[in-house]
Structure 1
Amino acid sequence: MTLQYKDIEQQFIGYVNTPTLWVSNSVYGLKQFELEKNDTPKFTDKIPTNLRLGKRVERYVSTDFKQSKDITILAENLQIQNNKLTIGEIDCILIKNKIAYHIEIIYKFYLFDDTVGSTELDYWIGPNRNDSLIKKLDKLKDKQLPLLYNTHTTPIIKKLNLSLNKIKQRVFFKAQLFTPYKRSVKFKQLNKNCVKGFYVKHAQLEQFNKCKFYIPNKTNWLQEVKTQVNWLTYNTFTAEVNTLITAKKSPLCWIKFPNGELEKFFVVWW
């Protein structure tokens, strides 16, 4: 098995093991698409090595959906165009148990910062502070989901032999969440099972000087932490991290504590 295929397999497992960001009730007026868990989903497709994380996840979701006996995918990555101008994309239209769904697929990494905004949804931001959960929810509500009802989408819906007014809209929103080191966070609307680790500011790294580290490339952010990697010493790790921090990039890293415990964490530049 090639290293790349092994990585892809591990990425897919990591994707499968990531819970949806909320369950049961709607959040921000958005409902999650409920997917029954397959016993042993497998990913056997090939993926180009340069395929970015978001597009990879779409491939993993597609495979996951196809392995469900109740689901028939009718269309994926539908480009909606006005003449030659692309005005947007619909991620997926499928039938599940005879009901048609328009689904938008999201996979995010968010960090908890309660200095931002005033509600639970406001507090989750991207590792580099240039995106946020609330921004994404607004985009879904105001731009991505309404695209189904755009006049330029109508011919596509007709070709699929669907009635627009019978299509239900859902999001399939998975996320890995990270909280400040050794701080507990209360969850009311979101799924606390999405917490995958912690984050620290660059200046706080000294407390981990007895630990070992690994910096996965971005496509492997999906993976669960593994023991069989080339662990870095504290000094080597901080030298590599310093370069990223200077460039205002917050890397996702793996840490192995002296007692053997493994965890994911972000080092943030802000």
Structure 2
Amino acid sequence: MDLNSKEIQLQYEGFLQTPLLWESENVFNLEQLKLFKKKVSVFEGNIQKKLRLGKRVERFVSNELNQYKAITILKENIQIQDGNTTIGEIDCLLKQQEQPIHLEIVYKFYLYDKTVGLTELEHWIGPNRKDSLVKKLTKLKEKQLPLLLKPQTKPTLEKLKIYVKEIKQLVYFKAQLFIPYQLKNNTFKLINNNCIKGFYIYFQELSQFSECKFHMPTKVNWLQETQTYVNWLSFEKFEQAIEVFMLSKTSPLCWMKQPNGKIYKIFIVWWR
């Protein structure tokens, strides 16, 4: 297995090990696709080197769904056109034991910031403060799922011999969550606490970890579980590398190895 294939397999395994962000139906009344646990499979698809994280996850979901005999994928990444204009995309249409399903796929990284919004769900934001959990849930509810009901979608459904009134709409929403270092033992009511993968610190707090070593995975490798045998940076080299990110207002995900060998996933954030 070459280095690229090995990395892709580790990304796929990291994706499989990421839990659903919620399991009941108390989050915007959106229901998750629930799959019974299987052994970790081998990723058998092709991934172009530059395929971004979101599209990569869609390929991983496709590979995962193909492991289930009760699931048949009918069509993926369906562009819905109104004349020459694309009005949206349906991620996946499938059948699970003959039940037609419209599935929207989401994989996100969110940080808990109590200064944003008033409710628990509103406090989860993107690492660079540009997006948020509530914004994504609203988009799913008001734009992505209603696309199925648009007249422009009808020809696609007719070709597949499925009818709108029979289709169940589900999401497959996974996330890695990060909380402030000071709150690292907190639990939350509405989300699946197994999604908490680590913590975040402000750049100004970095000096308290001067005894640690660090690794900066590429964006697509954010999916991976932490690995031991990687290129570890000394605190001094890491601090220099991080400054560049801080100046460009980018919060990177990093791996931090403590002197006792324990490895954590952390975000270093530029905002405060």
TM over 0.5: yes
Aligned equivalents of 2:85, 2:75: Cα separation in 1 = 20
Partner of 1:46: 46
Distance 2:40 2:203 in 1: 39
Q: Is the CA contact 1:225–1:254 (under 8 Å) kept in the aligned structure 2?
A: yes
Alignment partners' CA distance in 2, 1:117 and 1:251: 23
Q: Are 1:212 and 2:213 counterparts?
A: yes
Deviation at 1:27, TM superposition (A): 1.0
1:55, 1:39 → 2: CA distance? 23
**TM-superposed deviation, 1:25:** 2.6
RMSD: 0.8
- Rounded Cα–Cα distance in structure 2 between residues aligned with 1:133 and 1:69: 33
Aligned to 2:147: 147
Q: How does 1:43-192 map to 2 (within 5 A)?
A: 43-183=43-183, 184-192=185-193
**Counterpart Cα distance in 2 of 1:42 and 1:35:** 17
AA in 2 matched with 1:104: E
Output one character per residue of 1:206-241: Cα deviation in whole Å (capped at 9) or x when no partner: 000000000000000000000100100000000000
Contact 1:26 1:32 in 2 (8 A): no
Amino acid paired to 1:28? F
- In the other structure, the counterpart of 1:256 is 257
Task: State the match for 2:247 in structure 1.
Answer: 246
- Contact conserved, 2:13 with 2:40, CA < 8 A, in 1? no
TM-score, structure 2 normalization: 0.98
Give the drift of 1:83: 1.0
**Identity percentage of aligned residues:** 53
Question: Which whole-Å CA distance do the structure 1 matches of 2:95 and 2:144 have between them?
Answer: 19
For 2:230, the equivalent position in structure 1 comes to 229
Cα distance in 2 for partners of 1:242, 1:229 equals: 21
Q: Deviations over 1:186-212 (max 9, x none)?
A: 311110000000000000000000000
Distance 1:3 1:86 in 2: 37
Alignment of 1:4-43 (within 5 A): 4-43=4-43
SS at match of 1:77: strand
Q: Whole-Å Cα distance in 2 between the matches of residues 259 and 153 of structure 1?
A: 56
Q: Return the offset for 1:182.
A: 3.4
Preserved CA contact (<8 Å) 2:217 2:254: yes
Q: Please say if residues 20 and 191 of structure 1, whose CA atoms lie closer than 8 Å, have aligned partners that are also in contact.
A: yes
In 2, Cα distance between equivalents of 1:221 and 1:63: 19
Whether the aligned pair in 1 keeps the contact of 2:16 and 2:40 (CA below 8 Å) is: no
* Contact 1:128–1:249 (8 Å) recurs in 2: yes
In 1: Cα distance, 2:117 partner to 2:61 partner: 32
Runs of 4 or more consecutive aligned structure 1 residues displaced over 3 Å after TM superposition: none
Q: Residue in 1 aligned with 2:203?
A: 202
Distance in 2 of aligned mates of 1:66 and 1:172: 15
Q: Within 2, Cα distance between the matches of 1:56 and 1:194?
A: 20
Structure 1: where are the runs of 5+ without partners? none
SS in 2 for 1:15: helix
